[in-house]
Amino acid sequence: MVSQSEFAFRQMCRNHNAKLTFTQMLHAKNFISSKAFRRDTFDFNPAVEGSANCAPVVGQLCGNDKLVLLEAAKIIQSEGIDGVDLNLGCPQRIAKKGFYGAFLLPQTDLVLDIVDHLSSNLQIPISVKIRVQSPETDLALCTGLQDAGASMITVHGRTVKENKTATRSNNFDAIKRIVDATSIPIISNGGIEHFSDVESCLAATNAAGVMSSEALLENPSLFAGESFPATTAEWYLKQLRLAKEYLAIAEKYPPIGTGQSGGHSTIKAHVFKILYVALDRYQDLRNELGAPSVREIAHTKNIVRRLEERIFAAIERGELGELGELTPANFQNSWYRRHRHPTTFQQLTESDEITNEEIRQRALERRGNNRRR
């Protein structure tokens, strides 16, 4: 969720029954060494999220040095956040290069030392997010994390290699084994696409809760318990409502960010994911949304308004029934399934750090400039 779990999006998810939210993953070394990095990445709103009526917020950190992680965690703690999470689940290339995320998992002694150091020196709970490895390794690691002071563990039931186009079904059996072997809350992560998946996951794993990330970016109301839209037209209208709701929150609480677009690149990325299916149909509007020149929320709202007009016109003409009845099983063209069911713009996201069309476009422009030189 790099650059995609800012306050506005967390607030929207809370509006739709999310009971626990996380900040984006923050690189601990950069966080303590650069005030600018902290300003541009730690989008915590103490006035709202620090209140007793707000669902808890956890600050997620990555790194491999316990002293650096503790220093970053203490800064986060001082802001009034509810907990700190150590990310040992990120499978991206950048995490491998930086030796953090899921690539720390084989270093059990190092991981346990970090968690013990954090839990012994913080006044707020420490949680850990992991991916599965093997049954024996998973149980040894999770019981060790519990003994080291972890208050909660989120388990993604896939291995490091099972991501992007290699994604497989989530291993609920592996998660249940961990639940049975530990006494702290275990959160199941992975394979949560629709609300019906939440129910089946809890039944299969006995987990204390369920986490969603990729699917939640497309459907921030995933946890609201709504029934799945019956038709393509209903899906389009639901997603339009969500996009407009997010834009209203983001206009009131603008995301932080750097560069010419500032936090608006985050806004565009969210709108792109929420309206992924509709923008695949109306690709001229998709391309306009992704243009570097779109730097203000008024422009993005105008694109969404024009998209809405086209959808209503298509509904009146009876053009949106060609896919027939929608069910979670036959709904394939979605943001969540983009790697398993490629579309013409699957390549927009190569890693968690590349989150929108604008970044891709700038990379293509730089590549063209280099070739001309």
- As annotated, the active-site residues are 90
Q: CB under 8 Å to 346, separation ≥6 — which residues? A: 338, 339
Task: Name the residue type at position 113.
Answer: D
Tokens found for residue 262: 């500032």
Half-sphere exposure of 371 (CA within 13 A, CB side): 6
Alpha-carbon distance of 187 to 279, in angstroms, equals 33
Q: Identify the CA nearest to 284 among candidates 307, 302, 261, 268.
A: 307
**SS (HEC) of 183-214:** CCCEEEECCCCCHHHHHHHHHHHCCCEEECCH
Per the rule left: phi > 0, alpha: psi between -120 and 50, beta: everything else, 121 is: alpha
Residue 239 vs residues 12, 134, 270, 335: alpha-carbon distances, Å: 13, 39, 12, 12
H or E segment to which residue 271 belongs: helix 264-274
